[in-house]
Amino acid sequence: MKFEYKKRPPVLIANRGEIAIRVARTAKMLGFPTVAVYSDADRFSEHVKFCDQAVHIGGSEPKLSYLLGEKIIEAARRTGARYIHPGYGFLSERAHFVEACEKAGLVFVGPSADSMRVMGDKIEARATVDRLKMPRVPGSPGAVKDAKEAAEFAERVKYPVLLKATAGGGGKGMRRVDSAAEIAAAFESASREALTAFGDGAMYVEKYILEPHHVEIQVFGDGKGGAVHLGERECSIQRRHQKVWEESPAPILEQYPETRGKMFEAAIKVASGIKYAGAGTFEFIVDGAGDFYFLEMNTRLQVEHPVTEWVTGVDLVAWQLLLAAGELKLPSQDSITRTGASVEVRIYAEDPQTFLPAPGKMGRIVQPNGPFLRWDSSYETATTNAGEVSMFYDPMIAKLSVWGQSRDEAVARMRVALDELSIEAPKSASGDVKGSLKTNVVFLQRLTRTPDVLKGNTTTDLIPRNEALVLDPAADASEEMAIALSLLRLTEGAEDATALEGGAVRGSLWSQTARLEGRK
């Protein structure tokens, strides 16, 4: 692809935080003026300062601002924006928003509404991959009407199974069930959580794969039936069903190169078959024997896209913007090469024992530096007051990614970078520590020294398998329970808070987290 800077129409970024800055940076590089939108809570945020224009769109809660498509479209009209880039989350996978943009004469930077409906809805996606003969995890063909029907499918595919919400993601509305005795309570809890989070309590049943590796294939389509892949990422290291460590290439596929090739073929076949446009990700489970099963497709840019950019040298946002502008000619598959290895970690304001959100004010951030290192954040580092992690949004502080000539080198570089990183508690004007701050930095530092991580033995149960190495079993979380309960009610629904409230505080802290997920 030939790079060309020239004056282009403005792009409005319908998001916040680090992804808004990341999109704006590439947009400016290409000559697109940038428009930010912001809520009450984000009035002084870095993404507002970074963009060329900024428009206030409402209250702090997402439903009063970032989820209001009509306000975002009005902001585009007022500022003369031609394109709307959704980032990820919020409206990025809402087909009705794509149609509203088109009706308003705006260009949505992403797939068509039809593609989004086909692959964004988990049940429709399963039907599509069945038609195109992509392997998927055994389970119910669609939503089940109640716990009794869920139990019937569970008996067919054999326990353990996963109950999963048909809408949404991020681990919400998901429960592992190991026996028939557990399924009724798990169904009710997961359905309630999904209804709270997504406005839809519909559930389906899926076989739980033992020794699972979470592997995803990055694709990019031209909307006309052409598509290429940009390799894979492994995202198996997760807490509470949410990714915390991502890397490319996938360690499990280094053992099974034939599986890698089959996964590439399957992803391209589906992306081409639905005439997909833009960046998208096919998510799979790969078992210990190298067999793979389709999980879902994310019809947007992924949080972990930097690791793909590191190993391919491709700016995925540049491709997105140029495709939307009608200026991108999709390169041939052979011209896309991958070099070395990359690792990304997500740095959160959260309790490192329970992984519950811990929003609040930060003091100084000492950012790591060095070759082949990337820091994506919307918080200031050249100040004694880096800002506040809001209770209204995801508590991610930053993404830290690195590249190395080999996986060993990339992990070693990440270990050094995390050891350099410091996020201090806020201080008063006199210099006294003011309040407290919890992050997962020490937890991530421990991960870089864990033998299973170093060996690439990265199944999705890595954290509970290595609890003694990555968590501090001597820590007492009892003093934090009241705060955790209130935050959990805000972020995940009251039913999870009830589960925590009813559980014993003492004992394994991983078990407390597992109880929140509906596990034994």
CATH class of 342-516: alpha beta
- Span of 50-59, 177-186, 210-219, 499-508 with lowest mean pLDDT: 499-508
**CA 446 centroid distance within chain:** 22
What are the DSSP calls for 390-455, one per residue?
A: -TTS--EEEEEEEEESSHHHHHHHHHHHHHH-EEPPPB-TTS-B-S----SHHHHHHHTT-HHHHH
**Tokens of residue 72, six digits:** 């975002």
Q: Which two tokens stand for residue 493?
A: 């629904």
Cβ pair 188, 147 in contact under 8 A: yes
Tens of pLDDT, residue by residue over 58-105, are 999 999 999 999 999 999 999 999 999 999 999 999 999 999 999 999
* First vs last C-alpha separation in the chain: 52
143-186: per-residue pLDDT in tens? 999 999 999 999 999 999 999 998 866 678 999 999 999 999 99
Residues of each domain in the chain carrying CATH 3.40.50.20: 11-109
Residue 475 pLDDT greater than 70, yes or no:
no
Whether the pLDDT of residue 505 is over 70: the answer is no
Residue with tokens 């090469």: 337
* Residue 430 pLDDT: 66
Q: Provide the mean pLDDT of the chain.
A: 88
Q: How far apart are CA 325 and CA 214, in angstroms?
A: 33
Cβ-proximal residues to 517 (8 Å cutoff; 6+ apart), any chain:
171, 174, 175, 176, 240, 241
Asked whether 71 and 40 are in contact (CB, 8 A), the reply is no
- In three-state form (DSSP H/G/I as H, E/B as E, the rest C), the secondary structure along 129-141 is HHHCCCCECCECC
List pLDDT tens digits, range 289-303: 999 999 889 999 999
Residue 491 has pLDDT above 90, yes or no: no
**Residues recorded for the chain:** 520
The CATH number of the domain covering residues in 210-339: 3.30.470.20
176 among known catalytic residues: no
Could you say which of 136, 240, 300, 346 is catalytic?
Answer: 300
Least confident of 65-74, 140-149, 266-275, 474-483: 474-483
pLDDT value, residue 170? 66
- Could you give the residue range(s) of every CATH 3.30.1490.20 domain in the chain? 138-207
CATH 3.30.470.20 residue window(s) in the chain: 210-339, 342-516
C-alpha span between 411 and 408 (Å, rounded) = 5
- Better-scored residue on pLDDT, 152 or 126: 152
* Model confidence at 19: pLDDT above 60: yes
| Closest C-alpha among 102, 106, 83 to residue 26 | 83
Q: Which CATH architecture has domain 138-207?
A: 2-Layer Sandwich (3.30)
Alpha helical stretches, state H, 245-356: 251-255, 257-273, 305-312, 316-324
The rounded distance, in Å, linking the Cα atoms of 333 and 230 is 8
Work out the average pLDDT over 353-364: 91
CA 361 to chain centre: 23
Residues 405, 411: contact at Cβ < 8 Å?
no
Alpha helices in 33-179 (DSSP H): 46-50, 69-79, 95-103, 113-120, 122-131, 147-157
Measure CA 55 to chain center: 26
pLDDT band at 492 (very low <50, low <70, confident <90, very high): very low
- Whole-number pLDDT of residue 55: 98
* pLDDT (0 to 100) of residue 198: 82
Nearest to 401 by CA among 382, 381, 423, 418: 418
Closest by CA to 248, choosing from 292, 291, 305, is 305
What CA dihedral angle connects 398, 403, 406 and 409, to 10 degrees?
-70
Q: Give which of 379, 361, 365 is closest to 426, Cα–Cα.
A: 361
Put residue 123 in one of left, alpha, beta given phi > 0 → left and psi -120 to 50 → alpha: alpha
CB 398 within 8 A of CB 18: yes
Q: Cα 142 to the chain's mean position, in Å?
A: 24
* Contact call for residues 440 and 400 (beta carbons, < 8 A): no
The C-alpha atoms of residue 282 and residue 201 are separated, in whole angstroms, by 24
Break the chain down into helix, strand, coil percent, rounded to 5: 40, 25, 40
Instruction: Please report how the helices 316-324 and 305-312 are oriented relative to each other, as an axis angle in degrees rounded to 10.
Output: 100
| Per-residue pLDDT, 45 | 94
Q: What is the pLDDT of residue 490?
A: 46
The correct CATH number of 11-109 out of 3.40.50.300, 3.40.50.20, 3.40.470.10, 1.10.490.10 is 3.40.50.20
Residue 115 is encoded by which pair of tokens? 């593609």
DSSP single-letter state for residue 328: P
Mean local confidence (pLDDT), 175-204:
93
The residue-averaged pLDDT of 321-342 equals: 97
Give bridge partners of residue 12 from the DSSP assignment: 35, 84
Could you tell me the pTM of the whole model?
0.83
d(CA 225, CA 221): 7
| Residue 432 reports pLDDT greater than 80 | no
User: By the 8 A CB rule, do 314 and 228 touch?
Assistant: no
Q: In the predicted model, is pLDDT for residue 501 greater than 60?
A: no
Tell which residue, 37, 46, 40, 38, has the closest CA to residue 387. 46
| Tokens representing residue 342 in the block | 């990359």
pLDDT of residue 68: 96
